[in-house]
Structure 1
């Protein structure tokens, strides 16, 4: 014990005490490091254990990301501007509402498709196709045989006041058992108006004088049925090759309207333009 209190050696005792103090400090530091290392190692093990216990058989984490609420809605099937709807009666018969025919207010005239009005018998200078149930026909239909069809022309009214436009019904009847097509274009079908008051029957207007087109305009004629077009004349005169005709309406009197369809007998009907 005496050696501990009074160190023995060649050096002064104060040096030995300093050495002992340093050794004690080192031992204390080592002890603190050991405690800190032990506590750190135990915490990591617990964390790993908790993670291992979360998954099946302790294999890896099982925590997953839970998606939040979604705000998506079912896609809208309706396209902008509304749904596309097909009218079962459009373009056929009197129930169709094709362009130009559905809203037409015609004395005795049916609505529906204009059926080849572009380039038809009366479209263009001084005349027009205003309605009817005629439907355009494709090349798949055979051309109507002359012996299977016949045409008739009637005037909507017998007498027309000065403010009224003369209108006619062109009817094509098919007596055959199959649908067929007939050309009502300018080169195949011609309507003429003649003045009969002078006795000579002078022609005053013709759909062939200034046609906007000479292309064919086929329309369908159903088997054992008929197709109708409503035609009108604007009461003016015309000249061949789009020549300059007298301006204004023709005079009052009795006139004869005649329809000529290529390959078929011509048909005609009279009408009267009354005075004021």
Structure 2
């Protein structure tokens, strides 16, 4: 450091330099303290913002427990409900379905039990669901000309276990029905007797959708 020069004693100049340096140090300390105070204030503001989140959550939880959801919690619930695709699709209307019946073999001997296949197809362009329980399906054996009914699957078994099926466009649901070969009447009234040998047809139906008749023989 340069030696002080001047008419006054050197001690005076050293004291002045020390005072000037002290003032600079104090000013610098004040600037650092002010900056720290500002940073600390900003940090406290963030802490308050975070603390308000649990408070809001607690209010929402309390409202939900009372059975009256606040508008904020009700809005996400609405979005979740609208996104539930299966519920929105609903039941398959009759016009979206096609029903086909088949016979396992063209001819059965008297005393044998004919077996029929039922295929239900979603012919629409959208997936849908439908209860296809046995109590809702109708399988009926008729005379060859269709004028006389001999047996119906719902005469003696009108109730059945629900069978809800979801079908994509073009998807099929298949079922099998075995007929005893005997006649039947509504409510299973009267005597059931074996049908005589001859030609017959079988039809299947779900709702108002009816299949084409399929012929078969009993020999």
Q: TM-score, normalised on structure 1?
A: 0.42
Tell me the CA shift for residue 187 of structure 1. 5.5
Task: State the secondary structure of the residue aligned to 1:236.
Answer: coil
Give 1 or 2: higher helix fraction.
2
Is 1:164 paired with 2:109?
no
Indicate the residue corresponding to 1:203 in structure 2.
149
Task: State the secondary structure of the residue aligned to 2:191.
Answer: coil
Measure the CA separation in 2 of the matches of 1:262 and 1:273: 29
Match of 1:254 among 193, 196, 199: 199
Measure the CA separation in 1 of the matches of 2:146 and 2:202: 14
Indicate the residue corresponding to 2:139 in structure 1.
191
Assess if the C-alpha contact under 8 Å between 1:260 and 1:267 holds in 2: no
Alpha carbon RMSD of aligned pairs, Å? 2.7
Q: TM-score, normalised on structure 2?
A: 0.52
Q: What does residue range 1-276 of structure 1 map to in structure 2 within 5 Å?
A: 142-185=90-133, 188-196=136-144, 201-211=147-157, 213=159, 216-247=162-193, 249-274=194-219
Measure the CA separation in 2 of the matches of 1:246 and 1:148: 36
Distance of aligned partners of 1:189 and 1:140 in 2 relative to their CA distance in 1, 3 Å threshold? farther
Assess if the C-alpha contact under 8 Å between 1:172 and 1:221 holds in 2: no
Assess if the C-alpha contact under 8 Å between 2:135 and 2:157 holds in 1: no
Tell me the CA shift for residue 177 of structure 1. 4.1
Measure the CA separation in 2 of the matches of 1:245 and 1:141: 45
Assess if the C-alpha contact under 8 Å between 2:101 and 2:204 holds in 1: yes
Give the gaps of 5 or more residues in structure 2.
Answer: 1-85
Tell me the CA shift for residue 215 of structure 1. 6.2
Assess if the C-alpha contact under 8 Å between 2:97 and 2:123 holds in 1: yes
Task: State the secondary structure of the residue aligned to 1:241.
Answer: helix
Following TM superposition, where does structure 1 have runs of at least 4 consecutive aligned residues deviating by more than 4 angstroms?
138-141
Q: Deviations over 1:215-239 (max 9, x none)?
A: 6443332333212112221101112
Give the gaps of 5 or more residues in structure 1.
Answer: 1-137
Assess if the C-alpha contact under 8 Å between 2:112 and 2:181 holds in 1: no
How many residues are aligned here? 134
Instruction: Identify which of structures 1 and 2 has the higher relative contact order when contacts are C-alpha pairs closer than 8 Å and 6+ apart.
Output: 2
Which structure has the larger Rg over C-alpha atoms? Answer: 1
